[in-house]
Amino acid sequence: MTPSAASAAIPAPDRPGTVIITGGSSGIGRCTAGLFAQRGWRVGLIARGMPGLLHAADSVRMHGTKVAIARADVTEPDALAQAAETLVLALGTPSIWINCAGNGVYGRFAAVPEAQFDRVTAVTYGGTVNGCRVALALMRPRQRGTIVNVCSAIAFHGMPLMTSYAGAKAAVRGFGQALRAELRMEGSGIRVSTVFPPAVNTPFFSHAISHMGWPARPAHPVYQPEVIAEGIYLAAMRGQAEANVSGTAAAFALATRLVPGLIALAMTRLGFDGQLTQDPEAVALQEPTLFKPSDTASGVHGPFGRYARGMSMHLWVSRQIEKARKMFFFDKKNQKTFVRLEAQPGWRVGSTVEAQE
């Protein structure tokens, strides 16, 4: 079969469209927005604070893509739906929706005020639920699209001082599992992926309230947000049900199943000091935003870059698998496998040839 004939028989690979990201004004959300923009996607950002949204939009726009922003609190369903409508009018219906909004409070359970605990739950879990509801409403008419819920490795085993956050992230995982099952039962083409990052160097810790006398810090090992953004992108492209970002998260997930007692002991050994810092830079950057967004823009990174890892071998292997997967197409109608040959002399990009057995 000639390359041109094979190309006609094989559906074209997914092309960049529109992605909407909640919590997109800083940290993982903003970093992920930049990565999608680099790869040609139109990007819609939702967050509470306008200064952060404007700064994030300028940063993403530098990649040469179209960007739109909308202000909304993810705990307010009507406002979130209105924000999504604004972005759809500007960019088109999203084929990917990423729920990335979250916040935290550090302290012993008994020391955390009820209002603060409830707020973490409302944003981190309730905001994910609200985001999924809005995303599904947009995707159901076409019966396709991918929702990515950014969870945390803490969902596999809770950590001291983080009762509200750990509970919310565990709920995000269970919610995603239940929603996936419902969509499968409906025969829907909409996919829901839950991503589990390890500890990440973002402004999250500067914005979290601490009742421990010192600011919070990520527990080792810590990764840069670029690693997490790549993991989110891969999960979105594959539509994976669940994806661990980094070997650390994967090993932690496995260990909680195989040796739960050892993990519980490790959490006890971590104690309180392992999650607190007296670093002057971290102390100076403290600006809790639990109930009110910051009046200034936050960046992608936090103050813990000195010991944050900028790559993950686990993720590198995942990327190679994804590249190999994209090389092959299986034509169900003709029961044949094809290989796409990129940029061969005299061929158009994306041409394919039949694979020989």
Q: How many angstroms from the chain centroid is the CA of residue 95? A: 15
Q: How many angstroms from the chain centroid is the CA of residue 316? A: 17
CB 249 within 8 A of CB 228: no
Give the Cα separation of 17 and 236 in Å (integer): 12
3 state DSSP class of 255: helix
Lookup result for tokens 């994030």: 56
Helix axes 114-121, 163-186, angle to 10 degrees: 30
Q: How many angstroms from the chain centroid is the CA of residue 5? A: 39
Query: Is 307 among the catalytic positions?
Result: no
Q: What is the largest CA-CA distance in the chain?
A: 71
How many residues make up the chain in this entry? 357
> Which one of the listed residues 106, 125, 165, 233 is annotated catalytic?
165
DSSP secondary structure letter of residue 276? B
Q: Which two tokens stand for residue 208?
A: 């979290």
| Residue 51 neighbours by CB under 8 Å, 6+ apart | 294, 295, 296, 297
DSSP secondary structure letter of residue 10? S
Cα–Cα distances (Å) from 355 to 61, 306, 327, in that order, read 40, 48, 11
DSSP-derived secondary structure for 192-237 = EEEEE--EE-STHHHHSEESSSS-B-PPSSEE-HHHHHHHHHHHHH
- Give the catalytic positions in this structure: 165
